[in-house]
Chains A and B, each alone.
Chain A
Amino acid sequence: MRASRLSGLAWQPDPTLATRIDALARSYRHAVRAGLDPLVTDWHPGLGAASSAEYPKMLELTTKMTLVAHACTEIAGETFDARRQRIAILFGCCCFLADSFLDDFGAAATGEYLRRFATLLHSGWFELRTERERLFYVVLARLFAERNVLDPVVRQSIVRLHAAQERDVMLRLEPDRVQRLPPARRRALLKRTARDRSGHAIIALTSFLVPSIPLDLLGALFAAGALIMFIDDHGDCFADLQDGRLTYMNQLRQPERALDRIASAHFLRLHALLPENSGRDLLLGFLYRYYVTRIEKHRLQRRRGGTAWDVYE
């Protein structure tokens, strides 16, 4: 890895942290498969078919989500027990399927999904048309049953996440409107959208896991979520451009340098704001690992090309 500003940070990953993350990731890959295989077999067998490139990607994303969930739970002073692991797995699966509705079936299906999901949020009713939607609803129902979904923060995080996804879709479906904006305003809009998508997602995840989130923690976790999205968008720069999708990171002349600056500022802030415990170390270690692997992914895709379907650690 090239020299980065992260090497000058006050916080550096403990040498044993990488081993801990590897062990947890291995264990959660098994748990995720054990949790999702029966659901997929029962409600959307096509997804789990041997030829499906999508399912391994779903398992990998859910494994990452479970690691983040573990970190957030411990940061909040709780134990990441079997029930919370189940919640994290359901949440990861739910996010993956929701993203697929937005990204993989064309503009009309995207708009239709957003409309029906808004109805679900307003009324609890969701019109089920396909196996995939049936699986999504079953996962969502199980997730909602695990927590008081009428808790104000749970509700707001879900609604805010949906609104951020809606904004992101509009930017994608109407790129001309975005392109017409002055560059600085365009970048600010894209940056805010990226920040909100993952920021609200990590708040939603954490609020499903712990009884309440103190405000100090809510702000810090939002920042961690935002950083995940910037790192993710950097890794996907070329695949996104290929799909005609504008992101903050793919609109920058020197994205790696910008990401380095953003990551340094976020690491400093997170180190200062998060309580000093094993959850903080796990979250920072995960972010550090994610940063390093996505810088590599970006470089690899610049040389060889790639698609959004490639699965990376």
Chain B
Amino acid sequence: MSTNDPAVRKLLDAAAIALQGLRQDRRLRWDTLVRIDNTAEAAAAPYQFDAAQGLVHRRTCRAIPAGAALYGLAHITRDDLNRACKRCKPLPDQQPPPTDTTERADLLFGLVSVIDQFAGVLKERGKDYQKTNEGQQLGAQLDAVYRTLDRRQKEVLDTVLMALDQVVERLRTMDSALKRNGTERND
């Protein structure tokens, strides 16, 4: 069975909703499932790309206009120099900066939160991801992640896995209820 099978997809949808339901019922106490908002990291990135003007600036450049549509960049390459601001003249780093602990933790949370629900699509997604610079460094990064897990992070990981067990249990209950009733029920 693949995750694109409609019946499987529907169960996975129900799993996603069940996970939110557990949180709403206060049966899950962890604060973060996955944090998309990276505003602070983006603002602190050494380079800022103004998508409206099409220019890369150094973070502190005074030529960045008010209300610019900025994307923070951890590093730039020589290919990006044709987009460089003439005032602050950003230059590419010799080597990409190391991934910080926060990003490693985010990566871990993200992987754990999607693996159980969406394992089937990870393989397809991985094909694209391997083409990126980040993807090519992923193997090394994952090694680093597991080596640098501290006690708290290991505890969080255990909690996440236990919560996923609860989701699976709830799914089983829903599934048997559906079979008993012989009809599909919208929870």
Contact = CB atoms under 8 A, between A and B. Distances in A.
B32 A124 contact: yes
A124 B39 contact: no
A138 B13 contact: yes
Nearest to A150: B110
Main secondary structure of the interface of A (DSSP, over half): helix
A99 interface: no
Interface string A149-176: 1111101111110000000000000000
Nearest to B81: A215
- Most chain B beta-carbon neighbours within 10 Å: one of A42, A125, A128, A150: A150
B177 to A, nearest CB: 16
A196 B70 CA distance: 10
A305 B76 CA distance: 50
B17 A144 contact: no
Interface in B130-150: 131-135
B113 interface: yes
A149 B52 contact: no
Contacts, number: 150
A310 B74 CA distance: 45
Chain A: interface size category: 35 or more
A142 B125 CA distance: 12
B69 A160 contact: yes
B20 A145 contact: no
- Most chain B beta-carbon neighbours within 10 Å: one of A118, A131, A138: A138
Contact of B36 (A146, A159, A219): A159
Interface string B80-100: 101100000000000000000
Interface stretch (B116-124, B151-159, B165-173): B116-124
A43 B13 contact: yes
Contact of A121 (B23, B37, B69, B114): B37
A141 B13 contact: yes
A94 interface: no
A310 B107 CA distance: 44
Contact of B117 (A120, A141, A199): A141
Contact of B16 (A141, A147, A150, A160): A141
A83 interface: yes
B79 A38 contact: no
Interface of A: 38, 42-43, 45, 83, 118, 120-128, 131, 134, 137-138, 141-142, 144-153, 155-160, 192, 195-196, 199-200, 203, 210-212, 214-216, 218-220, 222-223, 226, 273
Interface of B: 6, 9-10, 13, 16-17, 20-21, 23-24, 31-39, 41-42, 45, 49, 51-54, 56, 67, 69, 71-74, 76, 79-80, 82-83, 103, 106-107, 110, 113-114, 117-118, 121, 124-125, 128-129, 131-135, 184, 186
